[in-house]
Structure 1
Amino acid sequence: MVTLLDCIYRVPAVIESIVEQREVTFAPLLEAVKDRLDDLNEILFVGSGTSNTCSVTAYRFVEKASCLSTSTMIPNEFLAKTVYNPKALYVFVSQSGTSTLTQQALKKVKAMGCLTAAITEAPTTPLAQAADVHIDMGCGYEEYGMRTIGYCASILTEMLMGVALGQARGVVSEAAAAAYIEDALAVTKDHKEICDRTLTWFDHNKEALMDVDAFVLYGPGSLYGVALEGALKILEIAKRFMCVGYEMDDGLHGPTMGFTQRHAVIVLNDGGKDNSLAMGIAQYMKNDVGHAYVIGANPIDEDDLGFTPASKDFACLEYAPVVEILAYRLAVDYGIELKDIKTQDPLPEMKYFNTHDE
């Protein structure tokens, strides 16, 4: 039987496939925008849950590569808007392509004549068929509903879409595009080692990690999206903890007054401009309150998981398996059965609102 951990370890092959297929993947989008390149001035990603956190992770790079103002929004907020930019590219993300409100949001702006694209797992999904353009997520079949492959595949697909649009607009040279591709593939270099070391790190800290009531994850820049996704994964997979993800600075304004020894803080640190903030919250929690663990740059003690990403712009994909494996091990070591899609019980949503409607 394929385990959730197997899915996490499988990501490098998915990354390589997405990179290899990129010209085919983005050909329909480039054809659709070729007559709008002079007017196109914005990209807006819309999605729920993991389809939102992947966009929060990717959108900064998309803006950098495409030189187009780029942002993200959840479907309900998008549907509540009263002003929509007719010169924007609206990108709707849903792995299954069945997210109810995401479909409604796409249909709303498509009816206005706006350009819409759907990123899903297959061209036959309802969202794909409703959009002007379908972009294959490249995730393939994923055995578990707690998306790990889909999260990483969505991030990479969105980021490479930014490169493709940048090339089409003449703001990314062939040499720059090649460098981006090389950087993306660098993610696969140490993936297995990071996964292996995360398992060892969990075993080293197992008693403390399993004895808290809540996890709080911090991340700067693109790692903010990883923090949000990590909080989601711990909650949905381990089922025993309340979890929240914060942007590195925003999470220092108030939440820290509520931390106790029953909370564990996970600091995703890239060693960049917010390094002092990362070190500050980590030291504070370690010395004065309770549990804190630095992941990535500048580990403080033996309880941390230090590593140097092989990639620069795509390093977020090297942090993703850490939070996913943390969620997985918390569940497994508590004896929680993780069911694949084929054997999963009906989801809670069937009792309140069908969030995925085919």
Structure 2
Amino acid sequence: MASIESYLQETPEKMFTIIEKADELFAKVKQAPIERIVITGSGTSYHSGKQMAKQMQRLLQFEVVALYPFEITTETFLKESDKTLVVGISQGGSSYSTYHAMKIARSCGCMTASMAGCENAYIDEVADYVLTVYCGEETAGAKTKGFYCTKLNLLLLALNIGTAQGQISEETYEKEIAAAKAAAEHFKAVYDVSEKWIEAHKETLTSAEEIRITGPASLYGDILESALKLLETMRCPVTGYEFEEFIHGIYNAINEKSTVFILDDGNEPRTNKMKEVLSGWSDSIFLITNYESEQADLVLPTVKNSEALTFNFIIPLQLICAKIPTLRGVDPSTPKDPDFHMKLGSKKMNK
């Protein structure tokens, strides 16, 4: 089984591949009369939709929302839904909950599309448009490469629909593509800086008992994903919150056992004060930025484009998932129970 690290290292190359294949992949769906998009999936798949929905909505100038599969019922589509596209995401392509959400959408008259990380996926069976995420196989239980590639696939979906509908100019299209490519080009530099920082702090990180993550609304999907990955691999309590939500009560739980990662892209003026206050309660308060700051513990050489930061900013947290669990006696690439989904009947298992 390949490691989380090797999949992270593959990510930039896969991003370029996905961009190259976009014209062909979205040729049919971009001609559909779409006026609303609902993205659905669980875990990492949901987080990819949550992270990209606002950007897609800004580009398309119509509603784009991300919902968990359990949130999708016939009441989700009370109005005429023949111009609603429901995009079901499942990295392995075998999620029963995503499959059933897509079936409900179809029964309500919606168009459906699938985004799986493999071809001939189970969820493709209920898709009008098969929009495969060409990231290649990812056998590690904690997915990383697929998260970036799915976010890029969603961005490209919006760009192609918007261009076909006349909502997005050729200039805007090229600008968005250039930003995504620049983020892919910055990936290794961010990875290398993160790797050095983790090595220098490995003893503190290894002893973490509980972890909190907070950051700006613009990275909320990434914050949720970071929390999930750390929880999956570090196997201790982990939660992630948007900065304002963290202030509203969550801070009460911070104590000497807490490890807190504060993400800041330069748009939150209270970040330094937050670090100062929390550092009075715990010695493990880490501020991660992409700008020089005396308060910052780790400064990332990310892409400059603010919306493309999503392809760079959480690399250090994912790399912690790859490197630190082994020091805690955990194989981060292998789920605690490889047969869990079979026992729970939550995925269609490959024969």
So what's the TM-score if we normalise by structure 2? 0.92
Q: Aligned equivalents of 1:143 and 1:126: distance in 2?
A: 17
Q: Aligned equivalents of 2:156 and 2:198: distance in 1?
A: 32
Shift of 1:301: 4.7
Matches within 5 A, 1:85-234: 85=79, 86=81, 87-234=83-230
- Residue 341 of structure 2, aligned match among 341, 349, 357: 349
Shift of 1:125: 0.8
Cα pair 2:91 2:116 within 8 Å, conserved: yes
Q: Aligned equivalents of 2:322 and 2:131: distance in 1?
A: 29
Matches within 5 A, 1:249-328: 249-272=244-267, 275-298=268-291, 300-301=293-294, 304-312=297-305, 313-328=307-322
Q: Aligned equivalents of 1:156 and 1:311: distance in 2?
A: 17
Q: 1:14 to 1:301 in 2, by over 3 A?
A: same
Shift of 1:335: 3.1
3-state SS, counterpart of residue 249 of structure 1 = helix
Q: Aligned equivalents of 1:27 and 1:111: distance in 2?
A: 25
Equivalent residue letter for 2:47: T
Provide structure 2 residue ranges, at least 5 long, that are not aligned to the other structure: none
Q: 1:345 to 1:14 in 2, by over 3 A?
A: same
Q: Aligned equivalents of 1:61 and 1:334: distance in 2?
A: 38
Q: 1:84 to 1:125 in 2, by over 3 A?
A: farther
Shift of 1:330: 1.7
Q: Aligned equivalents of 2:133 and 2:123: distance in 1?
A: 13
Percent of pairs with identical residues? 24
Cα pair 2:272 2:295 within 8 Å, conserved: no
3-state SS, counterpart of residue 90 of structure 1 = strand
Shift of 1:340: 5.7
Q: Aligned equivalents of 1:299 and 1:284: distance in 2?
A: 20
Give the corresponding residue for 2:3.
3
Q: Aligned equivalents of 1:68 and 1:306: distance in 2?
A: 36
Q: Aligned equivalents of 1:308 and 1:135: distance in 2?
A: 32
Matches within 5 A, 1:330-349: 330-339=324-333, 346-349=338-341
Cα pair 1:66 1:166 within 8 Å, conserved: yes
Shift of 1:80: 7.2
Cα pair 1:201 1:303 within 8 Å, conserved: no
Q: Aligned equivalents of 1:276 and 1:30: distance in 2?
A: 40
3-state SS, counterpart of residue 315 of structure 1 = helix
Shift of 1:204: 2.0
3-state SS, counterpart of residue 85 of structure 2 = strand
Equivalent residue letter for 1:348: F
Provide structure 1 residue ranges, at least 5 long, that are not aligned to the other structure: none
Shift of 1:222: 3.4
Equivalent residue letter for 1:28: K
Q: 1:237 to 1:347 in 2, by over 3 A?
A: farther
Count of aligned pairs: 346
Matches within 5 A, 1:3-82: 3-31=3-31, 33=32, 36=33, 40-79=34-73, 81=75
Equivalent residue letter for 2:112: T
Mean alpha-carbon deviation: is it higher for 202-211 or for 89-98? 202-211
Shift of 1:206: 2.0
Q: Aligned equivalents of 1:248 and 1:28: distance in 2?
A: 40
Cα pair 2:48 2:151 within 8 Å, conserved: yes
3-state SS, counterpart of residue 101 of structure 1 = helix
Shift of 1:302: 7.5
3-state SS, counterpart of residue 144 of structure 1 = coil
Per-residue CA shift, 1:182-212, capped at 9, x if unaligned?
1100012221121111111112222222222
3-state SS, counterpart of residue 142 of structure 1 = coil
Equivalent residue letter for 2:310: C
Mean alpha-carbon deviation: is it higher for 145-154 or for 213-222? 213-222
